[in-house]
Amino acid sequence: MQALAIDARRGAEMSIAWSVNSVAAVTAAKGDYERAATLNGLAAAMLKRAGGEWPPDEREQYDQTLATVSEGLPPEVLATVHARGAAMSLTDGVAYALRAAD
């Protein structure tokens, strides 16, 4: 979480996306699938807005989180919460991710 807070202060959206991707993975592993799917959508949207691509390790983590939440949520719920994350602003998304870590 410290890395996410530092990246947020710097405004480094691509690094923020990678940190949020990690928070999403941990959140999914804890069984909070809706929050994890929201974070997953947020991370993907942030990366896209930053003009970046997932490095192989981050892509693997993103895909694994998506697979985990897909098993735990009905498809319509997954689509809704993933889209909710994707629609968040940088500021709101970081605040949400930091709350998710608590």
**Residue 100: pLDDT above 80?**
no
Which residues lie closer than 8 Å to 89 by C-beta, 6 or more apart? none
The pLDDT tens digits for 74-98 are 999 999 999 999 999 989 999 999 9
Q: Which domain holds residue 53?
A: 2-101
What is the model's pLDDT at position 101?
56
What is the model's pLDDT at position 84?
97
What 95-99 contacts at long range (C-beta under 8 Å, 24+ apart), as own/partner pairs, is 96/38, 96/39, 96/42, 97/4, 97/19, 97/20, 97/23, 97/39, 97/42, 98/1, 98/4, 98/5
Q: Name the pLDDT band for 102 (thresholds 50, 70, 90).
A: low
Alpha carbon 60 to its chain centroid, in Å, reads 13
What is the model's pLDDT at position 69?
97
What is the model's pLDDT at position 13?
82
What is the model's pLDDT at position 3?
76
Domain count of the chain? 1
The pLDDT tens digits for 17-76 are 999 999 999 999 999 999 999 999 999 999 999 898 999 999 999 999 999 999 999 999
